[in-house]
Chains A and B, each alone.
Chain A
Amino acid sequence: MTGISTDVLLDIHRRMVRIRTFEEEAGKLMESGKIPGALHLYVGEEAVAAGVMVHLRDTDQITSTHRGHGHLVAKGGDLKRMYAELFGRATGYCKGKGGSMHVSDLDLGMLGANGIVGAGPPIAIGAAFSNKYRGTDDVTCCFFGDGASNEGTFHEAANMAALYKLPVIFICENNGFGEFTRQERHQAIHDIADRAAGYGMPGVVVDGMDALAVYESAGEAIARARRGDGPTFLEYKTYRYFDHVGVRGMGVIYREDSEVLEWRQRDPINLMEARLAEQGLLSPEGAAEVHEAALADVREAIAFAEASPFPEPSALMEDIYTLTASAGGGA
């Protein structure tokens, strides 16, 4: 943990705990039918979002995926407005129109959770292009899965990013599965970062359960992008504890329970807490306080969401188009 300030370490830990708590409670609410639709939960992968996002400003953008809650929590999303969105309430980030798969806050630079696998990379290069065009040193972090790395959209975007030296970081969350299909059954390579070379950008393979390794690798890539030196591809090896949708993680047909348990042995939060304890930076009691505070925030957010109204039926036909002052006849 050399060279990383205590504040940053504690910040990463806190972000991970907030994600985990958010997700576990959301999962229960989905299973009990209180949250409609499908939730793709991020539990197990928290180190990636936390280790990357701690480097970012509000003006840096991210593109996310169907598994997007963790990204928004780590980017500083308001838990109340997030939960309200999952519940489909008018107070939600998207006024209840988007739900889990689209929960977003453009004010925090989040250009969407996304229901379309592989939709993020082209959008991310557009945001990065805009940053460069507007002369800012903001960067765009593009999160996507191992499964998404097989979509043509990723390949087109990667080529353009390197060609135009765009300030974008491709962050591949390799959790070993695209839905129920294991990585070795959906691509012939083991390290997805190998693909970076084909587009002329650096590709790095990193332990995605180790928040510090994430922090350091992301820091370098983000600094490189801010300097104007172009994109980087970061592959984080990680694992989703739960099923593709919902909370069930064990007893599923496409993987062995023992594999889940093995990955859980290297749980990113436990790993971080052990290290922080070792360094004398966070006692077990201190860690427990962080968990309790996160749970209190999440419970407050859930209460807020449940007390919030559903959108009025008239909201159905709002927000489809932007009223353009100059179009259609003037004053």
Chain B
Amino acid sequence: MTTIEAPASREVPYVSAVAEAFAQLMREDPAIFIAGEDVALYGSVFGVTRGLLNEFGPERVIDTPIAESGIMGLGLGAAATGLRPIIDIMFMDFMGVCMDEVVNQIAKMKYMFGGKAKIPLTIHTMAGAGTSMAAQHSQSLEAWFCHVPGLKVVMPSGPYEAKGLMVAAVRDDNPVIVVNTKTILGMRAHVPEELYEIPLGKAHVVRPGTNFTILATGRMVGESVRAAELLASDGLDVEVIDPRTLQPFDTETVVASVKKTHRALVAHEAVRFGGIGAEFAAQIQEEAFDHLDAPVGRVGAPFTPVPFSPPLEKEYLPNADKIAAEVRRILGRQA
């Protein structure tokens, strides 16, 4: 396992980082194939599989019918019998169509069979609002899957994470759901050309700080760094942590930070109620109660489906300003 720290040289957009990870992994391991709707000839509607069909052919890059249960079951059956499938579910919302495969079959086969099965399956999907795609194409449903024993869940916050976490996910011998955020697919950052892994279950301190901890997932990592910059002018030195993997969750790194800063807030784009932030906040309070100077704050979307109309969607979405405002509110309450 190599985690390569980035000398800023090769800037790559998120979408290409994913495509590169797929190609390099497929070169390395002939047991890997990728299946999904319009992933082959069209290179996926998001462009994440562009070029794969040319290099690996239709046996390994497979356009499927629109049949999410079938596609997901195909992945499970193949994984249980020696292959290492990557299954693309175009929009995370469509996971609703294949929940039995994911929750009752994929997650549980190993345990139910007394540990005998090995399910090296990666599910790749796209979450997030902000594109005027309305209630059925904009959700962030990662908490659903974090709640199911047997599944692992990662949520990349940028191109470097997207490639490194994908490599770790595909090489992992368990089902891993990779939740990308469609609105950061164009984000550019340094991405090493070679294959590298970001270990699953390890959080990353994105921005070190001393007097407040923001724990943010996916797109909210970038928003939290911006919030930290806004708060710096108030004299606050905010630490931003990206858990990278939501399940399993790296409690240790986060708790160490909170013991240092004494205040924390969790931020995600998903609906706040029952979001993964609720679990994170609970763990922080369990593990670091005596170190906390204020209740753990939470920023997430309000409890409503994602609206279509742009002004409503803007109102809906968490962002740097809302995160900064919540930090100020927490500090105000504490005073």
A: residues with CB less than 8 A from B are: 36-38, 88-89, 94, 96-99, 101-102, 114-118, 147-148, 150-153, 178-181, 185-187, 253-254, 310-311, 313, 315-317, 320
Contact = CB atoms under 8 A, between A and B. Distances in A.
A313 B97 contact: no
B42 A180 contact: yes
Given A102-B134, A114-B136, A151-B67, 12 more contacts: A36-B308, A37-B132, A88-B309, A97-B135, A101-B137, A115-B134, A117-B66, A181-B65, A185-B63, A186-B64, A310-B312, A315-B307
A97 B38 CA distance: 28
A37 B315 contact: no
A82 B135 CA distance: 18
Contacts of B69: 152
B205 interface: no
Nearest to A89: B309
Interface residues of B, number: 36
Nearest to A97: B307
A181 B45 contact: no
A254 B41 contact: yes
B132 A99 contact: yes
B308 A96 contact: yes
Nearest to B303: A320
A102 B135 contact: yes
A311 B312 contact: yes
B37 interface: yes
B66 A178 contact: yes
Contact of B304 (A114, A181, A317): A317
Nearest to A313: B315
Contacts, number: 129
A92 B11 CA distance: 43
A94 B312 CA distance: 13
Contact of A115 (B63, B67, B135): B135
Contact of A316 (B65, B68, B304, B310): B304
A36 B311 contact: no
Nearest to A96: B309
A151 B312 contact: no
B133 interface: yes
B134 A101 contact: yes
15 contacts: A36-B308, A38-B133, A97-B308, A101-B136, A150-B65, A152-B97, A180-B42, A185-B41, A253-B41, A254-B42, A310-B310, A316-B304, A316-B315, A317-B303, A320-B304
Contacts of B45: 179
Contacts of A178: 37, 65-66
Given A115-B135, A180-B38, A253-B42, A97 B309 contact: yes
